[in-house]
Amino acid sequence: MTRTAPETRSPGAPADTDAIRVAVSTVIFTLRRLPGSDALQVVLPLVRRTRDPHEGQWALPGGWLDVTEGLDTAASRTLAETTGLAPSYLEQLYAFGAVDRSPTRVVSIVYWALLRADEITDATVENVQWFDAAALPALAFDHNEIVGYALWRLRNKVGYSRIAHGLLADEFTLADLREVYEAILARRLDPANFRRQVENSGTLIPTDRFRTGSHRPARLYRYNQDVELADRGPLDAGH
């Protein structure tokens, strides 16, 4: 294709602008009980790189932004191409653009999503594997830093929003909800305090259904749907 002709470039634009490329990557978190562990863990899918740079290392799913597609579309497309995953909603997390994060200059727009375990097909995809977010190997590029930032945002966000909803079935017990919080925050929570806080928050609606089984029947709750799970405000209008 033809490059932008120099005379249409703003005088202030350094020629070097042309050497910067834009990529998208995605961090997909879900909760799983890993073999040999009783507790839920935050896990994410990584893709093994089959070419340089960083050939053989694990990296976040992603790819190049095409000139004909928006950022959200590129994130969904590259995620599907590399992992087969198709979350209904990806949220933009952050743009990473340090000069030395790649051998060539690449700005990566990073998206993230939370998925319930039942939303994930366990079809084996070549070169894709799920990893415990708390015990990652050395990843390609600055992807350890990116996952670290995404985890920090997840932990922050669980405190003031109903983000845990994205990891739960429509109806759940307070113990289910507490387990999600414990996995995200990576610490135990006192059951009685947790119940009190959640009940006082007004974000849950008790149903008249109970889960029965080997334990005492536990009431099922659902989230108050009046508030959006992932509210991007004006950007939801189809940006």
Residues that bind a second copy (CB under 8 A): 1, 3-4, 8, 10-22, 51, 63-71, 92, 94-99, 104-105, 107, 109, 145, 148-149, 152-153, 156, 160, 233-235, 239
- Where are the strands (E) in 106-217, listed by range? 106-114, 128-132, 204-211
Least distance from a second copy to the Cβ atom of residue 61, Å: 12
Closer residue to a second copy, CB minimum distance, 106 or 204: 106
Closer residue to a second copy, CB minimum distance, 120 or 164: 164
Closer residue to a second copy, CB minimum distance, 196 or 219: 196
Residue 23's DSSP bridge partners are 64, 108
Which two tokens mark 27? 């961090």
Least distance from a second copy to the Cβ atom of residue 103, Å: 8
- Those residues whose C-beta lies under 8 Å from the C-beta of residue 94, and which sit 6 or more positions away, are 110, 146, 149
Host H or E run for residue 41: strand 40-48
Closer residue to a second copy, CB minimum distance, 154 or 220: 154
Alpha carbons 197 and 96: distance in angstroms, whole number = 36
Least distance from a second copy to the Cβ atom of residue 163, Å: 13
